[in-house]
Amino acid sequence: MVSRAVNQGHRPFTTLTHSGGFVVSNAGKKQSSLMLALLPFIVLYVCTVVLVWLSREDMAGTVKYWEMFVPLAAVVALISGWGSAYANGQWRLIYLIKQVIIWGGFIWLLSLLQTLGADTSLGAQKTTFALMFLVALLAIATGLNMDWKMLLFGAFLGLCGYLLVDPSNTAILQPVGDRLGIADAQTKPLSMIIGIAAAAFVLTAFMLITTRASIAAKRRS
């Protein structure tokens, strides 16, 4: 008996079987809206900028907020690479296990160090810097292996940490400001950070759109 495919508007493709039942294929599965997919990154970049702003005022006083930021980064990293794993033909279960091991192990290690009093030995200010750079390095490492969007975020967070370590480091912003036509960029670190965050978010959106297009093409094939 000849099978026939039915496609009505946005409804999934269905195939009529010999028994009269219908089999739903992956081709008709709809992706979530782009804004919903971008929401985790909006939260991530906004929280980062706010934390950097607070840290410029009181580095030691923000350590507890950076500690709460780590699980947020872990959740966004998990969500971020989910679609990329499918688009690249990776098993999502393997991807999930990798992310849980990496970020779960990192959070466990931080908890262990805190129990041992490492944060007290370092002091709140140095602990804040350590958290920023460790999260940045972990995001870059996982990004290289699984998801370029997190690599971009890790680079941004690392830059923020570098600018906070020493006020004189803001001199590296001047060449960027010159290219963008911004006068005295080194005297406007927060404005530059916001601008760089916006640029990183736009690149992230472009990467996400590319990934979603790959997913759609794979489901149609």
DSSP for residue 202: H
Q: How far apart are the first and last CA of the chain?
A: 24
Answer for the pair 41, 148: CB distance below 8 angstroms, yes or no. no
- For the chain, what percent of residues have pLDDT higher than 90? 39
Distance CA 84, CA 36 (A): 16
pTM of the complete model: 0.80
Ramachandran sector of residue 14 (left: φ over 0; alpha: ψ -120 to 50; beta: rest): beta
| Residue labelled with tokens 């947020």 | 72
Residues 6 or more apart whose Cβ sits within 8 Å of residue 125: 59, 60, 63
Q: What is the mean pLDDT of residues 17-35?
A: 53
Q: What is the mean pLDDT of residues 83-100?
A: 82
Residue 30 is predicted with a pLDDT of: 62
